[in-house]
Amino acid sequence: MRRGRERIESSDSAFDQMYRCELSSMIALGLSMTGSRETAVDLAHEAMLRAYLNWPSVSSMDRPGAWVRRVVINLAIDQRRRTKRHPMLALAGDERPD
């Protein structure tokens, strides 16, 4: 039982290290793609959450930060597409037009 717990703690430690090293550059990437610091922070945290939820497979990659970077890019593209389809969403935040 203890061995499993040590593995979880080690895994969490590796994620924490990746999070601390990559977060600021993910926010900068999101900002460069969206022009909004608030949106960039949201995108970076969503990407980090997805990395955490998929950490067993993400951590086995050569460059987990590159995976997170790709998620930020994909999320920014999706966000841009949504605002192009529904321009009012860009003005109203998450509120949907009636």
Provide the H-helix boundaries in the chain.
Answer: 2-34, 37-53, 55-58, 64-85, 87-92
pLDDT for position 85: 75
Task: Answer whether residue 97 is part of any domain.
Answer: no
pLDDT for position 48: 97
**Total number of domains constituting the chain:** 1
Each residue's pLDDT tens digit, 20-76: 999 999 999 999 999 999 999 999 999 999 999 999 999 999 999 999 999 999 999
Q: In sequence order, which residues have a C-beta less than 8 Å from that of residue 39 and are 6 or more positions away?
A: 30, 79
pLDDT for position 7: 47
Task: Answer whether residue 83 is part of any domain.
Answer: yes
Task: Answer whether residue 26 is part of any domain.
Answer: yes
Q: In sequence order, which residues have a C-beta less than 8 Å from that of residue 51 and are 6 or more positions away?
A: 15, 18, 58, 64, 67, 68, 71
Structure tokens at 4: 């499993």
pLDDT for position 4: 47
Task: Answer whether residue 98 is part of any domain.
Answer: no
Task: Answer whether residue 11 is part of any domain.
Answer: yes
Report yes or no: 25 and 18 within 8 Å, Cβ to Cβ: no
Record the pTM. 0.76
Structure tokens at 90: 């860009």
Task: Answer whether residue 53 is part of any domain.
Answer: yes
Higher pLDDT, 69 or 84: 69
CATH code for the domain of 27: 1.10.1740
Task: Answer whether residue 77 is part of any domain.
Answer: yes
Give phi and psi for 96, each to the nearest 5: -95, 140
Q: Is residue 2 predicted with pLDDT exceeding 60?
A: no
